[in-house]
Amino acid sequence: MEDLPYKKEISLRHHSPFPAKTEIWPKVRLLFGREGIPTDLSHLYLNEHGESWANLGYWENTKEYGTACANLAEHLGTLAGLDQNSKLLDLGFGCGDQFRIWENTFGVNVSNIYGINISKIQIEFAKRRYEGKGTSPNLILGSVEGLAKFEDKTFDVVLALDSLYFIPNRSRLVGEVYRILKPGGVFVSAEILFSDRKISFWETFKRNLISKMAKMSSDLKKVEGIVSEYSALGFNFEVLERIDPFVFPGFSQFILEKIKSEKKIPKRLAGRYEMLGEYFGSETIKKHFEYWIYKVRKPE
């Protein structure tokens, strides 16, 4: 395992409205740690067979993490209609395992794959996979601002595989996506959104704090907000599907079993993963978040 560039972050898990200080202090110490931020390589502990997946996965008919993650990547590719002629941009591509799926399953030329990511260590990791090969994807270090380098009407497809809820300034991002898509081009995303349930002030506070501590975007929306914002730009919705029953429980079961069987996971990271697994398997997450996959098209 490589040295990981951690940053401080915290999260929240309360079993009662006013837990005793002695109950929460060990958790706070864990959650103030540097382990498990979205831009590091902690997720390598969850993978096998040289893979480096970091998405939550689509768990229908599987209990294997790599298969579930590949299923979600393939689901996006199918919705996007990827083929050998597709020129695509992947927003927040992680370590790029999905490139292999899009190349092998749909015939996408890897030289037509572009990716943007704010994590230098993840980009370097992804680039090493293509050393010595004739072609490689075009990987860019940057965030929303980096999209300005692309000319209008550059891409057939823009994809976001379980990443958009970490990317700030959605309004600007979606505007840039619309600009760089060719007429008739599509944008497909699988992502966490706020639940549409009515919740108490306390649950809202917990949800907002969890979002902040997990480094999620400060402008996270409910699904109706997504529809409104994308439609206002001119996008046409073609697919809008809620899939959290196939995402949250499967990921929860996997990660809780993984930390019991994998002894190489550092203790503090295992503690964080345990809390994450319990949260994703709880009734509380149903009050806080939903998971959606959607496809929008830029008019011809």
In whole angstroms, what is the distance from residue 207 CA to residue 203 CA?
A: 6
Q: In angstroms, what CA-CA distances link 216 with 68, 93, 211?
A: 22, 16, 5
Tell me the percentage of the chain whose pLDDT exceeds 70: 88
In whole angstroms, what is the distance from residue 208 CA to residue 212 CA?
A: 6
Stretch 279-298: mean pLDDT, rounded?
97
CATH of domain 29-298: 3.40.50.150
pTM score above 0.75? yes
pLDDT of res. 145: 87
Confidence bin at 22 (pLDDT 50/70/90): very low
- Between 43 and 24, name the one with better pLDDT: 43
Torsion 174-176-178-181 (CA) sign: negative
In whole angstroms, what is the distance from residue 185 CA to residue 153 CA?
A: 9
Decide if pLDDT at 4 tops 50. no
Give the tens place of pLDDT for each residue, 122-136: 999 999 999 988 899
